[in-house]
Structure 1
């Protein structure tokens, strides 16, 4: 089972996290929510310390469900530095989910490395 959080610790665990966080909004009655949990574990294993995967029971966290305007479950949202980067509400099978999650992280890595490179180049020009 994924580590589950509530509204009370969402700000600290998600918005204040030093690494990207993939939040799995789910509900106990949602069969598809349960089916994708092994894929989410695999995703977390593949990306290890580069991403944290957390679950939020949308039925018990109505304020978060409203804040993030959940229209369907499961909904996966990737946060970084307190900002929503990507949202996944519809997917077609396990392979589609795996590919989409890996693309999220690859895009994030590319964006992060280009920012670092730009900063380094800027600093070199200043010296």
Structure 2
């Protein structure tokens, strides 16, 4: 998983080729922390199919809002700088995997 910041977000996500999954999370978000090991495992299993990134929104609130992230956890899928899939608030790792397979 690539750790995103406001400094590298554009290069790693918006200018990237192919499918990019971004996990927006926060250290005070219990559902985020509970799902994180499964998200990392999914990323490891599918590393050759897509790029996987995570963004701690604590110090990047404006960036998160600019991407229409209004609640956590949120996972967005990007292709050619555009959002092509979204999972927000109440979803399971199975939902993430299904969306990933749908978009690959």
Structure 2 length as normaliser, TM-score? 0.87
Runs of 4+ with deviation above 4 angstroms: none
Bigger relative contact order, structure 1 or 2 (CA pairs below 8 A, ≥6 apart):
2
Q: Which runs of 5+ in 2 are unaligned?
A: none
Q: Which runs of 5+ in 1 are unaligned?
A: 110-127
Higher strand share: 2
Aligned to 1:100: 95
Bigger mean CA deviation after superposition, 9-18 or 41-50: 41-50
Tell which structure's C-alpha radius of gyration is larger: 1
Query: Quick one: distance in 1 between partners of 2:69 and 2:14?
Result: 18
The RMSD of aligned alpha carbons is: 1.6
User: Displacement of 1:71 after TM fit?
Assistant: 2.0
Higher helix share: 1
Structure 1 length as normaliser, TM-score? 0.73
The number of residues matched between the two structures is: 104
The correspondence of residues 2-41 of structure 1 with structure 2, limited to 5 A, is 2-41=1-40
Contact (CA 8 Å) 1:21, 1:51: kept in 2 or not?
yes
The correspondence of residues 11-90 of structure 1 with structure 2, limited to 5 A, is 11-90=10-89
